[in-house]
Amino acid sequence: MVISIIPNKESIYGEYLPDKYTQFADYTRADQIYDYLKNNTNITVISPKKEMRNYKNEYQLYYKYDTHWNNMGAFVGVQSLYKALDIPMTNPLNVEAEEVKKQEGDLVSLGNLDPNNYCDDINYNVIYKPEIHILQNRGDKIGIGSGTYHSMSDSENINNLVLLSDSYRTAMIPFLEKDFLNCTITHRDNVNHEDIVEAIKKADILVITAVERFDSEIIEAVEAVIIILSEKD
């Protein structure tokens, strides 16, 4: 089992915060959790914070008008996961990525702002391993709510992956589904659903992630997974 804490946008782009808040981006609560788990447990825990800060000047990794990372941010995060799993990585600077515009975002909606004034946000069309084909897929690939997505590919990595995450999983799917034979990707809230329980029992690799602002929710998911695996036949 691997735990990954995904940084909030302000933890990567803290220089854009007002001066009185900048200090909070340097060593966050998520950093404290990460350090504690690394130093006091045998759990494999990762944070892509360092990698994302390394590439933030090469690419825009989060939307300006949205709380989520974009496709390139997710790509950097996935490569950080692969490093922990000892899976071959792809340098973000060596991947073909076309810059595309994204309109609006959740911050615009939450602020009840005119979306016509916020049309200059950036996403990327990342061309990733076109030689690998998705043979079957079903379910919710958008991942905004609590849906579940299943896929099967012709990847040479025959491991079954289960990812329990939040809405940040949406941008991760196009990469993960190319690098595992079978993927089950769902919201953490679904951990006790019958089909997810069965997938967890069959998983070769189980990853639980949470964006930094939801880091406390990891505990509940981990506890549920421990119970599921303790009852495994």
Question: What is the DSSP track for 114-155?
Answer: -GGG---EEEEEEE--TTS-EEEEEE-SS-SSS-EEEEEE--
> Quick one: pLDDT at residue 233?
64
Q: Are 160 and 203 in contact (CB under 8 A)?
A: yes
> Quick one: pLDDT at residue 27?
83
Alpha carbon separation from 47 to 3, 31, 96 (Å, rounded): 9, 8, 24
| SS3 label, residue 4 | strand
Q: How far apart are CA 145 and CA 130, in angstroms?
A: 28
Q: pLDDT per position in the chain (233 positions), as tens?
A: 899 999 999 999 988 888 777 666 678 888 898 999 899 988 899 999 999 999 999 999 999 999 999 999 999 999 999 999 999 999 999 999 999 988 778 888 888 888 888 888 999 999 999 999 999 999 988 766 678 999 999 999 999 999 999 999 999 999 999 999 999 999 999 999 999 999 999 999 999 999 999 988 998 999 999 999 998 66
> Quick one: pLDDT at residue 145?
66
> Quick one: pLDDT at residue 100?
94
> Quick one: pLDDT at residue 146?
77
Nearest to 121 by CA among 104, 108, 137: 104
> Quick one: pLDDT at residue 144?
61
Structure tokens at 107: 């911050």
Q: How far apart are CA 49 and CA 44, in angstroms?
A: 16
Structure tokens at 96: 């073909």
